[in-house]
Amino acid sequence: MRLSGAIPRYDRQMAANGRSAHTRAAYLRDLRAFSRWVVQDPDLSTITPDHLARFLTSDMVLCTPDGEPRAAISLNRTKSALRSFFAFCVESGFIRENPARLIRSSPARAKEPSTLEPGEIERIRAVLAEKTGDLADRDRLIFELLLGTGIRLGSLVGLNRGDVDLETGILNIRSKGGGLTRPP
């Protein structure tokens, strides 16, 4: 099996496994970068841990297109893409041994969350207060819910009426990946 033939099969499997479109797109970008780096379309069985180590230490991986160093979290995503892809190749029977078996993620600091300044919050509230109607009520509720709970936007969008219990004041939130998070 050639690298170019395995990548679309891997993408189809990621879709079948319910991976998000964003994860799939990011992993495919990383795998296509590897494919460009190796130049010719190699047979998967010829790819070694050394090939992957040389790719991971190349400027193509370590630097952004404008030459700046890539963040550790981006490098870890590339490593995850390679580990996941080659594990898929082994499990699919395309290769016997996983060349990504030696790849480890690097420690990465979590990104500091950005927050609104008090003045920004008041300006948004003032704009929302000027609007009237059902959609305006919805928008105010969304803003206050985001502001008051810190809920992820994706989790907010996934809320259903049954997730809100006004009597107890409990909101059942779906976490990233779709699992239901219940308060303690």
Domains and their CATH numbers in the chain: 3-91 (1.10.150), 118-181 (no CATH)
Q: Where are the beta strands (DSSP E) in 13-171?
A: 164-165, 170-171
The DSSP call for residue 94 is: S
Higher pLDDT, 155 or 21: 21
pLDDT in tens, 71-91: 889 999 999 999 999 999 999
What is the Cα gyration radius of the chain?
A: 22
Residue 184 has pLDDT above 80, yes or no: no
pLDDT number for residue 176 = 66
Does position 12 have pLDDT exceeding 70, yes or no? yes
Q: What is the pLDDT of residue 49?
A: 97
- The CA distance from 102 to 96, in Å, is 15
Task: Using a pLDDT cut of 70, give the percent of the chain over it.
Answer: 93
Between 181 and 59, name the one with better pLDDT: 59
Mean pLDDT of 3-8: 96
pTM: 0.64
* Residue 84 confidence (pLDDT): 97
Query: Each residue of 110-153: pLDDT tens digit?
Result: 777 778 889 999 999 999 999 999 999 989 988 988 888 888 88
Instruction: Identify whether the C-beta of residue 30 lies closer than 8 Å to the C-beta of residue 2.
Output: no
